[in-house]
Amino acid sequence: MRHIIHADLDAFYAAVEQLDNPELAGKPVLVGGRPENRGVVATASYEAREFGVHSAMPMRTAVHRCPQGIIVTPRFTRYREMSGKVMAIFRDLTHMVEPLSLDEAYLDITAVVEGGQQPLAIALDLKRRIAEETGLTLSVGVGTCKSVTKIGSDLDKPDGLVVVQPGDEAEFLAPLAVNKLYGIGPKTAERLHREGIETIGQLAQQPLEWFAKFFGQRAISLRDKAMGQDDEAVHTERAAKSLSSESTFVNDIGDEAELRSVVDRKAVDVAHQLERKNLKGRTVTVKLRLADFTTFTRQSTLPYHTNAEEPIKEAAWRLLSAELEPGRTFRLLGVGVSNFGEDLEAGDIEDRQLPLFAVDDAFDTFTAGPEDK
Ligand code: TTP
Ligand code: MG
Protein backbone atom coordinates (compact mmCIF):
# COMPACT_ATOMS: atom_id res chain seq x y z
CA MET A 1 0.00 0.00 0.00
CA ARG A 2 1.17 3.50 -0.84
CA HIS A 3 1.02 6.51 1.46
CA ILE A 4 0.79 9.80 -0.37
CA ILE A 5 0.56 13.49 0.54
CA HIS A 6 -0.79 16.16 -1.79
CA ALA A 7 0.48 19.54 -0.62
CA ASP A 8 -0.69 22.93 -1.94
CA LEU A 9 0.20 26.37 -0.57
CA ASP A 10 -2.64 28.74 0.33
CA ALA A 11 -3.19 31.78 -1.92
CA PHE A 12 0.44 31.39 -2.96
CA TYR A 13 1.32 34.64 -4.79
CA ALA A 14 -0.81 36.72 -2.40
CA ALA A 15 0.67 35.01 0.66
CA VAL A 16 4.20 35.82 -0.55
CA GLU A 17 3.19 39.47 -1.04
CA GLN A 18 1.71 39.60 2.48
CA LEU A 19 4.84 38.01 3.88
CA ASP A 20 7.20 40.48 2.19
CA ASN A 21 5.08 43.51 3.01
CA PRO A 22 3.58 43.27 6.51
CA GLU A 23 1.23 46.16 5.70
CA LEU A 24 -0.68 43.77 3.47
CA ALA A 25 -1.15 41.12 6.17
CA GLY A 26 -4.79 40.44 6.94
CA LYS A 27 -5.94 42.63 4.04
CA PRO A 28 -7.66 41.82 0.74
CA VAL A 29 -4.80 41.52 -1.79
CA LEU A 30 -5.37 41.13 -5.53
CA VAL A 31 -2.27 39.91 -7.39
CA GLY A 32 -2.43 40.56 -11.12
CA GLY A 33 -2.45 43.10 -13.92
CA ARG A 34 -3.91 46.60 -13.57
CA PRO A 35 -7.61 47.00 -14.45
CA GLU A 36 -6.86 49.84 -16.87
CA ASN A 37 -4.63 47.43 -18.83
CA ARG A 38 -7.39 44.81 -18.94
CA GLY A 39 -5.41 42.77 -16.42
CA VAL A 40 -6.63 39.58 -14.77
CA VAL A 41 -6.40 38.25 -11.22
CA ALA A 42 -3.63 35.66 -10.82
CA THR A 43 -4.74 35.02 -7.26
CA ALA A 44 -6.46 36.79 -4.38
CA SER A 45 -5.80 36.58 -0.63
CA TYR A 46 -8.48 34.78 1.38
CA GLU A 47 -9.59 38.17 2.73
CA ALA A 48 -10.41 39.20 -0.86
CA ARG A 49 -12.06 35.88 -1.73
CA GLU A 50 -14.82 36.66 0.77
CA PHE A 51 -15.97 39.27 -1.73
CA GLY A 52 -16.26 36.69 -4.50
CA VAL A 53 -12.91 37.39 -6.15
CA HIS A 54 -11.06 34.44 -7.69
CA SER A 55 -8.18 33.54 -10.04
CA ALA A 56 -8.60 34.36 -13.76
CA MET A 57 -11.29 36.99 -13.08
CA PRO A 58 -10.83 40.32 -14.90
CA MET A 59 -9.24 42.76 -12.46
CA ARG A 60 -11.96 45.26 -13.31
CA THR A 61 -14.60 42.86 -11.96
CA ALA A 62 -12.46 42.10 -8.92
CA VAL A 63 -12.13 45.79 -8.07
CA HIS A 64 -15.87 46.21 -8.49
CA ARG A 65 -16.58 43.37 -6.06
CA CYS A 66 -13.84 44.33 -3.62
CA PRO A 67 -13.14 48.09 -3.90
CA GLN A 68 -10.85 48.07 -0.87
CA GLY A 69 -8.68 45.36 -2.50
CA ILE A 70 -5.00 46.24 -2.84
CA ILE A 71 -3.66 45.46 -6.32
CA VAL A 72 -0.13 44.07 -6.43
CA THR A 73 1.87 43.38 -9.59
CA PRO A 74 3.16 39.79 -9.69
CA ARG A 75 6.84 39.14 -8.98
CA PHE A 76 7.45 35.78 -10.62
CA THR A 77 11.16 35.59 -9.72
CA ARG A 78 10.30 35.89 -6.04
CA TYR A 79 7.57 33.22 -6.33
CA ARG A 80 9.99 30.87 -8.02
CA GLU A 81 12.51 31.45 -5.24
CA MET A 82 9.92 30.70 -2.53
CA SER A 83 8.77 27.65 -4.46
CA GLY A 84 12.36 26.37 -4.43
CA LYS A 85 12.48 26.65 -0.63
CA VAL A 86 9.18 24.83 -0.24
CA MET A 87 10.16 22.02 -2.63
CA ALA A 88 13.49 21.63 -0.76
CA ILE A 89 11.55 21.05 2.49
CA PHE A 90 9.38 18.47 0.70
CA ARG A 91 12.52 16.73 -0.58
CA ASP A 92 13.98 16.71 2.89
CA LEU A 93 11.04 14.51 3.97
CA THR A 94 11.17 12.18 0.95
CA HIS A 95 13.10 12.16 -2.31
CA MET A 96 9.89 11.02 -4.03
CA VAL A 97 8.40 14.42 -4.85
CA GLU A 98 6.36 15.19 -7.99
CA PRO A 99 5.88 18.95 -8.38
CA LEU A 100 2.70 19.87 -10.28
CA SER A 101 3.25 23.62 -10.28
CA LEU A 102 5.17 26.21 -8.28
CA ASP A 103 3.02 25.69 -5.16
CA GLU A 104 1.81 22.13 -5.42
CA ALA A 105 3.29 18.61 -5.27
CA TYR A 106 2.62 14.96 -4.55
CA LEU A 107 4.93 13.32 -1.99
CA ASP A 108 5.25 9.56 -1.64
CA ILE A 109 5.74 9.01 2.10
CA THR A 110 5.41 5.20 2.07
CA ALA A 111 8.97 4.67 3.28
CA VAL A 112 8.53 7.18 6.11
CA VAL A 113 5.34 5.44 7.27
CA GLU A 114 7.01 2.04 7.05
CA GLY A 115 9.82 3.51 9.14
CA GLY A 116 7.29 3.84 11.98
CA GLN A 117 5.80 7.33 11.71
CA GLN A 118 2.05 7.96 11.52
CA PRO A 119 0.77 9.73 8.38
CA LEU A 120 -0.99 12.33 10.54
CA ALA A 121 2.21 13.13 12.45
CA ILE A 122 4.17 13.40 9.19
CA ALA A 123 1.60 15.82 7.75
CA LEU A 124 1.50 18.00 10.87
CA ASP A 125 5.28 18.12 10.96
CA LEU A 126 5.44 19.13 7.30
CA LYS A 127 2.89 21.93 7.79
CA ARG A 128 4.82 23.18 10.82
CA ARG A 129 8.16 23.18 8.98
CA ILE A 130 6.72 25.09 6.02
CA ALA A 131 5.20 27.67 8.37
CA GLU A 132 8.35 28.07 10.47
CA GLU A 133 10.89 28.06 7.68
CA THR A 134 9.01 29.99 4.99
CA GLY A 135 6.15 31.81 6.74
CA LEU A 136 3.62 30.32 4.29
CA THR A 137 0.66 28.11 5.11
CA LEU A 138 0.26 24.73 3.47
CA SER A 139 -2.86 22.66 2.95
CA VAL A 140 -2.37 18.92 2.96
CA GLY A 141 -4.33 15.86 1.90
CA VAL A 142 -3.10 12.47 3.14
CA GLY A 143 -4.18 9.07 1.86
CA THR A 144 -3.38 5.96 -0.10
CA CYS A 145 -3.86 7.29 -3.64
CA LYS A 146 -3.32 10.48 -5.60
CA SER A 147 -6.95 11.30 -6.44
CA VAL A 148 -8.03 11.16 -2.79
CA THR A 149 -5.15 13.28 -1.51
CA LYS A 150 -5.62 15.93 -4.22
CA ILE A 151 -9.25 16.35 -3.23
CA GLY A 152 -8.33 16.24 0.45
CA SER A 153 -5.83 19.10 0.29
CA ASP A 154 -8.47 21.36 -1.26
CA LEU A 155 -11.33 20.49 1.07
CA ASP A 156 -10.26 22.28 4.23
CA LYS A 157 -8.33 25.28 2.80
CA PRO A 158 -6.71 27.47 4.04
CA ASP A 159 -4.31 25.77 6.49
CA GLY A 160 -6.17 22.54 5.75
CA LEU A 161 -5.43 19.00 6.85
CA VAL A 162 -7.49 16.04 5.68
CA VAL A 163 -6.36 12.50 6.45
CA VAL A 164 -8.24 9.65 4.77
CA GLN A 165 -7.55 6.35 6.51
CA PRO A 166 -6.82 3.24 4.42
CA GLY A 167 -10.14 1.61 3.60
CA ASP A 168 -12.16 4.83 4.02
CA GLU A 169 -11.48 6.22 0.52
CA ALA A 170 -14.81 5.39 -1.13
CA GLU A 171 -16.78 6.59 1.89
CA PHE A 172 -14.78 9.84 1.94
CA LEU A 173 -15.44 10.53 -1.75
CA ALA A 174 -19.08 9.39 -1.88
CA PRO A 175 -20.86 12.63 -0.78
CA LEU A 176 -18.64 14.97 -2.85
CA ALA A 177 -19.71 16.57 -6.14
CA VAL A 178 -18.47 14.76 -9.27
CA ASN A 179 -16.62 17.84 -10.52
CA LYS A 180 -14.17 17.48 -7.61
CA LEU A 181 -12.69 14.45 -9.36
CA TYR A 182 -9.54 15.21 -11.28
CA GLY A 183 -10.42 14.72 -14.95
CA ILE A 184 -14.09 15.73 -14.70
CA GLY A 185 -14.51 19.25 -16.03
CA PRO A 186 -17.67 21.36 -16.18
CA LYS A 187 -18.89 19.81 -19.45
CA THR A 188 -18.56 16.22 -18.27
CA ALA A 189 -20.15 17.19 -14.94
CA GLU A 190 -23.10 18.63 -16.87
CA ARG A 191 -23.46 15.42 -18.90
CA LEU A 192 -23.38 13.41 -15.67
CA HIS A 193 -26.05 15.65 -14.11
CA ARG A 194 -28.30 14.89 -17.07
CA GLU A 195 -27.89 11.20 -16.19
CA GLY A 196 -28.92 12.03 -12.62
CA ILE A 197 -25.40 11.64 -11.25
CA GLU A 198 -24.40 14.41 -8.85
CA THR A 199 -22.00 12.79 -6.39
CA ILE A 200 -18.85 10.71 -6.71
CA GLY A 201 -20.66 7.97 -4.77
CA GLN A 202 -23.43 7.79 -7.38
CA LEU A 203 -20.78 7.64 -10.09
CA ALA A 204 -18.82 4.87 -8.35
CA GLN A 205 -21.96 2.70 -8.21
CA GLN A 206 -22.35 2.53 -11.98
CA PRO A 207 -21.43 -0.78 -13.63
CA LEU A 208 -18.24 -1.00 -15.63
CA GLU A 209 -20.16 -1.27 -18.94
CA TRP A 210 -21.79 2.07 -18.17
CA PHE A 211 -18.35 3.64 -17.57
CA ALA A 212 -17.09 2.22 -20.85
CA LYS A 213 -20.05 3.69 -22.74
CA PHE A 214 -19.92 7.06 -21.02
CA PHE A 215 -16.16 7.65 -20.81
CA GLY A 216 -14.65 5.44 -23.55
CA GLN A 217 -10.87 5.24 -23.13
CA ARG A 218 -10.96 6.92 -19.74
CA ALA A 219 -13.46 4.45 -18.20
CA ILE A 220 -11.12 2.38 -16.04
CA SER A 221 -9.06 5.29 -14.83
CA LEU A 222 -12.11 7.35 -13.85
CA ARG A 223 -13.81 4.39 -12.21
CA ASP A 224 -10.70 3.76 -10.09
CA LYS A 225 -10.59 7.42 -9.13
CA ALA A 226 -14.29 7.49 -8.22
CA MET A 227 -13.77 4.46 -5.98
CA GLY A 228 -10.67 6.00 -4.41
CA GLN A 229 -8.45 3.24 -5.72
CA ASP A 230 -6.31 4.81 -8.40
CA ASP A 231 -2.93 3.18 -8.62
CA GLU A 232 -0.87 6.01 -10.05
CA ALA A 233 2.67 6.31 -8.73
CA VAL A 234 4.30 9.57 -7.69
CA HIS A 235 6.55 10.34 -10.64
CA THR A 236 9.85 11.83 -9.55
CA GLU A 237 12.51 13.48 -11.65
CA ARG A 238 10.76 13.11 -14.95
CA ALA A 239 13.21 13.26 -17.83
CA ALA A 240 13.03 16.74 -19.32
CA LYS A 241 10.24 16.84 -21.90
CA SER A 242 11.15 20.25 -23.25
CA LEU A 243 13.99 22.74 -23.21
CA SER A 244 13.41 26.46 -23.26
CA SER A 245 14.92 29.87 -22.81
CA GLU A 246 12.98 32.95 -21.79
CA SER A 247 13.55 36.56 -20.76
CA THR A 248 11.48 39.13 -18.95
CA PHE A 249 12.24 42.66 -20.14
CA VAL A 250 12.84 45.70 -17.99
CA ASN A 251 10.78 47.73 -20.46
CA ASP A 252 8.08 46.10 -22.57
CA ILE A 253 9.13 45.64 -26.21
CA GLY A 254 6.91 46.40 -29.19
CA ASP A 255 9.50 47.08 -31.87
CA GLU A 256 9.58 44.37 -34.54
CA ALA A 257 13.33 44.41 -35.16
CA GLU A 258 14.05 44.27 -31.47
CA LEU A 259 11.63 41.36 -31.00
CA ARG A 260 13.22 39.53 -33.89
CA SER A 261 16.66 39.80 -32.35
CA VAL A 262 15.38 38.54 -28.98
CA VAL A 263 13.69 35.57 -30.65
CA ASP A 264 16.90 34.76 -32.51
CA ARG A 265 18.94 34.86 -29.30
CA LYS A 266 16.45 32.62 -27.45
CA ALA A 267 16.33 30.18 -30.38
CA VAL A 268 20.12 29.95 -30.49
CA ASP A 269 20.21 29.37 -26.75
CA VAL A 270 17.72 26.50 -27.01
CA ALA A 271 19.56 25.00 -29.99
CA HIS A 272 22.78 24.98 -27.94
CA GLN A 273 21.01 23.37 -24.98
CA LEU A 274 19.67 20.66 -27.29
CA GLU A 275 23.08 20.05 -28.74
CA ARG A 276 24.72 19.80 -25.32
CA LYS A 277 22.13 17.24 -24.26
CA ASN A 278 22.33 15.43 -27.57
CA LEU A 279 18.62 15.94 -28.23
CA LYS A 280 16.54 16.93 -31.24
CA GLY A 281 12.97 18.15 -31.10
CA ARG A 282 10.08 18.70 -33.51
CA THR A 283 7.77 21.12 -31.72
CA VAL A 284 8.73 24.77 -31.35
CA THR A 285 6.82 26.85 -28.81
CA VAL A 286 6.90 30.56 -28.14
CA LYS A 287 5.69 31.85 -24.79
CA LEU A 288 4.50 35.44 -24.65
CA ARG A 289 3.46 37.72 -21.84
CA LEU A 290 1.75 41.00 -22.70
CA ALA A 291 1.88 44.27 -20.80
CA ASP A 292 -1.31 43.27 -18.92
CA PHE A 293 0.30 39.96 -17.82
CA THR A 294 -1.85 37.85 -20.11
CA THR A 295 0.40 34.89 -20.83
CA PHE A 296 -0.01 32.46 -23.70
CA THR A 297 1.88 30.06 -25.91
CA ARG A 298 1.81 29.29 -29.62
CA GLN A 299 3.37 26.22 -31.11
CA SER A 300 4.24 24.69 -34.41
CA THR A 301 5.46 21.22 -35.29
CA LEU A 302 8.25 20.69 -37.80
CA PRO A 303 8.16 17.72 -40.17
CA TYR A 304 11.47 16.42 -38.73
CA HIS A 305 13.53 16.53 -35.53
CA THR A 306 16.25 19.12 -35.28
CA ASN A 307 18.63 20.96 -32.99
CA ALA A 308 19.79 23.37 -35.69
CA GLU A 309 19.53 27.11 -35.04
CA GLU A 310 17.90 28.22 -38.30
CA PRO A 311 14.70 26.14 -38.33
CA ILE A 312 14.07 26.92 -34.65
CA LYS A 313 14.62 30.66 -35.27
CA GLU A 314 12.34 30.62 -38.31
CA ALA A 315 9.55 28.69 -36.61
CA ALA A 316 9.66 30.90 -33.50
CA TRP A 317 9.65 34.10 -35.53
CA ARG A 318 6.76 32.91 -37.66
CA LEU A 319 4.74 32.20 -34.51
CA LEU A 320 5.60 35.52 -32.89
CA SER A 321 5.07 37.64 -35.98
CA ALA A 322 1.48 36.35 -36.21
CA GLU A 323 0.88 37.91 -32.77
CA LEU A 324 2.20 41.38 -33.55
CA GLU A 325 -0.39 44.15 -33.47
CA PRO A 326 0.01 47.91 -33.51
CA GLY A 327 0.46 49.09 -29.93
CA ARG A 328 0.90 45.58 -28.52
CA THR A 329 3.99 45.25 -26.35
CA PHE A 330 5.63 42.23 -24.77
CA ARG A 331 6.88 41.82 -21.24
CA LEU A 332 8.27 38.31 -21.62
CA LEU A 333 9.36 36.19 -24.51
CA GLY A 334 10.43 32.57 -24.50
CA VAL A 335 11.30 29.92 -27.05
CA GLY A 336 11.05 26.21 -26.30
CA VAL A 337 11.54 22.95 -28.14
CA SER A 338 9.80 19.69 -27.22
CA ASN A 339 8.64 16.44 -28.81
CA PHE A 340 12.13 14.90 -28.72
CA GLY A 341 13.20 12.09 -30.98
CA GLU A 342 15.41 11.12 -33.86
CA ASP A 343 14.77 10.82 -37.61
CA LEU A 344 16.68 7.89 -39.01
CA GLU A 345 17.34 9.32 -42.43
CA ALA A 346 17.73 13.01 -41.68
CA GLY A 347 21.09 14.41 -40.69
CA ASP A 348 21.59 18.05 -39.77
CA ILE A 349 22.49 19.14 -43.26
CA GLU A 350 19.51 17.43 -44.86
CA ASP A 351 17.35 19.04 -42.17
CA ARG A 352 17.82 22.44 -43.70
CA GLN A 353 16.68 21.34 -47.12
CA LEU A 354 13.38 19.92 -45.91
CA PRO A 355 10.24 22.05 -45.97
CA LEU A 356 10.07 24.00 -42.75
CA PHE A 357 6.54 23.49 -41.52
CA ALA A 358 3.95 20.82 -41.25
CA VAL A 359 0.31 21.79 -40.94
CA ASP A 360 -0.57 20.55 -37.47
CA ASP A 361 0.00 23.86 -35.73
CA ALA A 362 -1.65 24.00 -32.35
CA PHE A 363 -1.97 26.54 -29.64
CA ASP A 364 -3.32 26.93 -26.21
CA THR A 365 -4.13 30.07 -24.34
CA PHE A 366 -4.26 30.82 -20.68
CA THR A 367 -4.55 34.04 -18.81
CA ALA A 368 -1.86 34.97 -16.33
CA GLY A 369 -1.64 31.25 -15.73
CA PRO A 370 0.70 29.67 -13.24
CA GLU A 371 4.14 29.44 -14.70
CA ASP A 372 5.69 26.13 -15.63
CA LYS A 373 2.37 24.35 -15.61
P1 TTP B 1 -3.43 27.72 -6.91
O2 TTP B 1 -2.77 26.74 -5.96
O3 TTP B 1 -4.50 27.20 -7.82
O4 TTP B 1 -4.08 28.92 -6.10
P5 TTP B 1 -3.59 29.66 -4.79
O6 TTP B 1 -2.37 29.01 -4.21
O7 TTP B 1 -3.45 31.11 -5.07
O8 TTP B 1 -4.83 29.50 -3.82
P9 TTP B 1 -5.34 28.18 -3.06
O10 TTP B 1 -5.26 28.50 -1.61
O11 TTP B 1 -6.73 27.97 -3.55
O12 TTP B 1 -4.40 27.05 -3.44
O13 TTP B 1 -2.34 28.40 -7.83
C14 TTP B 1 -1.05 28.74 -7.35
C15 TTP B 1 -0.60 30.07 -7.93
O16 TTP B 1 -0.64 30.03 -9.35
C17 TTP B 1 -1.49 31.23 -7.55
O18 TTP B 1 -1.09 31.82 -6.32
C19 TTP B 1 -1.34 32.18 -8.70
C20 TTP B 1 -1.07 31.30 -9.88
N21 TTP B 1 -2.29 31.18 -10.71
C22 TTP B 1 -2.46 32.05 -11.80
O23 TTP B 1 -1.58 32.87 -12.09
N24 TTP B 1 -3.60 31.97 -12.56
C25 TTP B 1 -4.60 31.07 -12.28
O26 TTP B 1 -5.63 31.03 -12.99
C27 TTP B 1 -4.42 30.16 -11.16
C28 TTP B 1 -5.50 29.16 -10.82
C29 TTP B 1 -3.25 30.27 -10.41
MG1 MG C 1 -2.29 26.94 -3.93
CA distance 131 to 128: 5
Q: Give CA angle at 248 (247, 252), nearest 5°.
A: 125
Q: Mutate which of 17, 55, 86, 296 to test ligand 1's pocket (most atoms within 8 Å of Cβ)?
A: 55
Domain boundary assignment for the chain: 8-101+120-142, 170-226, 242-353
Residue nearest to atom 12 of ligand 1 (CA): 10
The residues annotated with a catalytic role in the active site are 104
Q: Which ligand is nearest to the CA of 370?
A: 1
pTM over the 0.75 mark: no
Per-residue DSSP letters for 222-281? HHHHHTT---PPP--SPPP-EEEEEEEEEEEE--HHHHHHHHHHHHHHHHHHHHHTT--E
Digit-by-digit pLDDT tens for the chain (373 residues) are 999 999 999 999 999 999 999 999 999 999 999 999 889 999 999 999 999 999 999 999 999 999 999 999 999 999 999 999 999 999 999 989 999 889 999 999 999 999 999 999 999 999 999 999 999 999 999 999 999 999 999 999 999 999 999 999 999 999 999 999 988 999 999 999 999 999 999 999 999 999 999 998 888 889 999 999 988 889 886 567 889 999 888 889 999 999 999 999 999 999 999 988 888 999 999 999 999 989 999 999 999 999 999 999 999 999 999 999 999 999 999 999 999 887 754 333 333 333 333 333 333 223 333 333 3
Q: Ligand 1 centre from 258 Cα, in Å?
A: 33
**Phi (first) and psi of residue 24, to 5 degrees:** -90, -10
| Residues in the ligand 1 pocket, defined by CB under 6 Å | 8-13, 42-43, 55-56, 103-104, 157-158, 368-370
Q: Ligand 2 centre from 10 Cα, in Å?
A: 5
For the domain spanning 8-101+120-142, the CATH number is: 3.40.1170.60
Domain spanning 170-226: which superfamily?
Answer: 5' to 3' exonuclease, C-terminal subdomain (1.10.150.20)
Domain 242-353, classified CATH 3.30.1490.100, yes or no: yes
Q: Ligand 2 centre from 139 Cα, in Å?
A: 8
* Closest ligand 1 atom, residue 10 Cα: 10
